[in-house]
Amino acid sequence: MPLYYQIQQRLLSQIQSGEFDAEKPLPSVQEIAASLGVSHMTARQAIKSLCDLGVLYSKPGRGTFVSGIKLEKDFRQVLSFTEEMKARGSKPVSKVLSFEVRRSSTEVREALRLEPSDEVIQLRRIRQANTLPMGIECSSLPLRLCPDLLDTFDPRTSLYKVLEDRYRIHILVADEIVEVGVANYEEAQLLKIGEGVPVFYFTRISYVQSGQPVEFVKATYRGDRYKIANRLTRLDRALLSSALPV
């Protein structure tokens, strides 16, 4: 593990514990380097990486400040919330709102290609990073794929892990749509934000290798704690020209 990353995680832990006051600048690069026994370059790289994640921000001439954890939503990988939080150095926590078998709605049936009589397992949870509510997720899966899930799965843990380990369901591809809206009363209460605060609405259909849809998710995530990251590429000019209609 690169040294700068170890320092990044150490600083992130200190930030999450409240050791650094958001109203006061962090110690200087020199002070951080000396206290952790690393070079100025390593400390500077760790601080820059936290700024890139939105955890810290700099004010010219005044120093570096804690901005609150704002996590990047990366569309280049299919990650569960648990995997995503662990990759960011946070502890994933799930508060279960409901976990039940129910009849599928029209939206779920169309997404998962189900018959009107097919039932689904629906899991609705508040997803937290440490103790901070980040989002509300509602996952629906065909009951026939995992008929005993209610009896064998602890809904506070990773759903993707049990799907892989117990049912050999490996999610490889997902189509996800993101919309921007404002929190309604229920969402505001669950996420501990003000009503009308901006949020992201995610709609996702997940597929296994055969192309079969196995999961439909509707989620609401806090706009003040997430940002969307993507990498766009442009075709080579020659290829682009050949692809254009004559």
Rounded to whole angstroms, the Cα distance separating 50 from 205 reads 31
Split the chain (246 residues) into runs of 10 and give each run's mean pLDDT. 82 78 82 91 88 73 73 52 65 90 95 94 91 90 95 91 91 88 94 89 89 93 78 56 48
| Other residues' Cβ atoms within 10 Å of the Cβ of residue 201 | 14
Q: Where in the chain is the domain with CATH 3.40.1410.10?
A: 71-229
Strand partners for 21: none
CB 3 within 8 A of CB 49: no
CA angle 163, 168, 173 (to 5 degrees): 75
Number of Cα atoms under 13 Å in the Cβ half of residue 78: 14
CB atoms within 10 A of CB 179: 9
Q: What is the pLDDT of residue 239?
A: 47
Provide the pLDDT for residue 54.
62
Cα–Cα distance, 187 to 238 (Å, whole number): 49
**CATH of region 3-66:** 1.10.10.10
Closest CA to 202 of 174, 230, 224: 174
CA atoms within 13 A on the CB side of 240: 5
Helix axes 40-52, 29-36, angle to 10 degrees: 110
DSSP 15-68: HHTT-S-TTSPPPPHHHHHHHHT--HHHHHHHHHHHHHTTSEEEETTTEEEE--
Q: Determine the pLDDT at residue 233.
A: 62
Q: What is the pLDDT of residue 111?
A: 95
Radius of gyration, CA atoms only, the chain? 21
Can you say whether the dihedral through the CA atoms of 102, 108, 112, 115 is positive or negative? positive
Residues of each domain in the chain carrying CATH 1.10.10.10: 3-66
For 156, the token pair is: 């506070």
pLDDT at 34: 92
| Span between the terminal Cα atoms of the chain, in Å | 52
Report the CATH fold assignment for 71-229: Chorismate lyase (3.40.1410)
DSSP bridge pairs for 214: none
Residue in 6, 99, 88 with CA at minimum distance from that of residue 53: 88
Rounded Cα gap, residues 100 and 179, in angstroms: 27
Query: Phi and psi of 147, rounded to 5°?
Result: -65, -25
